[in-house]
Structure 1
């Protein structure tokens, strides 16, 4: 071999799951999260409208804890992980990242068409006479309703989280390139990993500090939605996902978990989430720090699911044929399930009382999934085709190139 010959390529490891299988696992997580969100809001509806005030609609404490599990932190962790991964790889191992204009364009195509249409439709039905609550409409269309104590849950209640999602996009396109440039000055990879991890830990610790000050020093009640639902309190979920991206980018194919270790980690994370949900009703430490703790547990669960040598029955469950299609329509299901539920409730189509809760849950599931499927194919999918108008660098594509000269 000559001195200038290229070194042989390293052998491919058989342990790393294909990217499409990882995507299947993530679709499974999305599907479970969407179903859990529907169950949580039906559970919440029956809790709120019960004659005794806040009496749970089910008597079984185990089932009650499963139904009342909040999964919004999973959406935050998962979104941040997926969107940060390319920045983490570029910061640790070099390479380029997508320009901010291309990133924001694709995010807008993903989020805005369905969201804007749903806001206009639901707002119009609830404001049949003009001028209506124009402030509510303006705040929802500008994603600022999370800062309004009175209107944070108006129109589309669960979409307060989209306000934080959109804010995270701007934070990421600002901090991501800065992190990449800062890491290029560091020669040792271990130093680059340490800088990126420290930045994520800081972003995770800042909301913890705010929650501590707000609750224990300022005495702000938990019903102050702006204080505890705003980015200053909830950004920890995104930070946990960013840290997960840094960890997986740093490890690469190294130190993948054996099936036994992966299942043990998965079981521990799920048990922690279950115990957290059971203890979240009574005000105390777990109630105050519920979302930072949940974010860390969701990140741990994702790590135990994705960084593995061989797939386990948990991975096969996530990629089941009945679940991954729900992941495909999860955004539409997230957007439409509350209006569907309230429409059914106001029309008297949901059984009343705790005994009617299981039937109400089934009715809302079936109706919301049907609406979400139609929404995906009629709105989401056609809108996603607009993403092809620009290339990876954010430049308009040339669909009609001039014929080559002969």
Structure 2
């Protein structure tokens, strides 16, 4: 075969492998976008609820007259974000390990993660920190910890400046872990001759990573008696990495299935309903220091995996999936990161200047006010900050090298 033809065939093979690696990520993309929107709205709801709990003179959660409503509102979705992030980001490594496809360079992975998260996050941290520290030096340690994503390790400052962003510290730890163990997994799988054996090895690695937080939680709670208010102990990666491990396991499973084993509509609906009921029951029976509370997040992570799996593997769209295809929900998912970043400082500022009603009876109106302000801000933030930042991804090609936009000029 002539050299030009061989080069063309090689490029075609590389493109085919890349296409195959991307296929699982595209499957259910609309549903995933809507899930992000639901999770973001639930996060706003949860934090407004927390705000009223904190500032209510009677010291009780506003909706707790009805414990079922209280359980629904207090259902935490942070594990969903961890599972989804790990699933999407592990797909390429799982495909490389199981199907011996190409491995994207770590520098490209970290560059794309940085342009996705850092610009908006740094801007928000600087704006919010400056507004709360009008005279220098202010709480400089808080600023440094937030800018270095290390505030999750500080039990005193973990929720300062941008309270919900403790989770971004864990995201960074996961990124670094993935680029460290991903290539090792690919190399180890390269020595195994069968596809099933390679998938089993990857699954075993995910299981080990999931087990580590379980052991830590058991030891911290029942051997050392660490109280649940020790935030660094129970919010750090040693306690919360199970969500990422569960998402990695889902990626391995989806790659191993490779489009096979699609679920009938009734089975997909049943699994989705079972996971939703399980999540609700987990929230309903969770109380500080009890067994459910201690292991809430690893169990929730597995239930989120079931929900995502039942959606991604559905052979046909079931009735409730139509909700996930509504334009307002997919639009909310598009701006979910900006909504996640800005809603808390907006809520706190609105409370400070007296725009939010006082007392438990004002909770529903307060939620509407926070959403009415936060969603337009999130839309503007996406189009003026997130989207322009994402265009920086075009500066590097698929190998992680600077892209040559004018190849003709080099001739």
Counting only pairs closer than 5 Å after superposition, residues 145-224 of structure 1 correspond to structure 2 as: 145-224=151-230
1:54 shift after superposition: 3.0
- Residue number in structure 1 paired with 2:10: none
- Residue number in structure 1 paired with 2:39: 33
Choose the corresponding residue for 2:319, options 310, 313, 318.
313
Alpha-carbon distance between aligned partners in 2 of 1:238 and 1:20, rounded to the nearest angstrom: 20
Counting only pairs closer than 5 Å after superposition, residues 189-268 of structure 1 correspond to structure 2 as: 189-268=195-274
Cα contact 1:57–1:353 (8 A) shared by 2: no
Cα contact 2:24–2:255 (8 A) shared by 1: no
Query: Secondary structure at the residue paired with 2:327?
Result: coil
| Cα pair distance change 1:188/1:387, threshold 3 Å | same
- Residue number in structure 2 paired with 1:303: 309
Once the two structures are overlaid, the 10-residue window that deviates more, 274-283 or 361-370, is: 274-283
- Residue number in structure 2 paired with 1:7: none
- Check if 1:24 corresponds to 2:30: yes
1:282 shift after superposition: 4.7
Query: Secondary structure at the residue paired with 2:408?
Result: coil
Counting only pairs closer than 5 Å after superposition, residues 4-403 of structure 1 correspond to structure 2 as: 20=26, 22-402=28-408
* Superposition RMSD in Å: 1.4
Aligned length: 389
1:392 shift after superposition: 1.4
Answer 1 or 2: which has greater helix percent. Answer: 2
**TM-score for the superposition, normalised by structure 1:** 0.94
- Residue number in structure 1 paired with 2:3: none
Alpha-carbon distance between aligned partners in 1 of 2:27 and 2:261, rounded to the nearest angstrom: 19
1:60 shift after superposition: 2.4
Cα contact 2:278–2:303 (8 A) shared by 1: yes
Residue by residue over 1:323-382, the C-alpha shift from the partner in whole angstroms, topping out at 9 and shown as x without a partner, is 000010000000000000001100110111111111001111111111111100110001
Cα contact 2:228–2:288 (8 A) shared by 1: no
Q: Which runs of 5+ in 1 are unaligned?
A: 1-16
Structure 1: which 4+ aligned runs deviate by more than 6 Å?
Answer: none
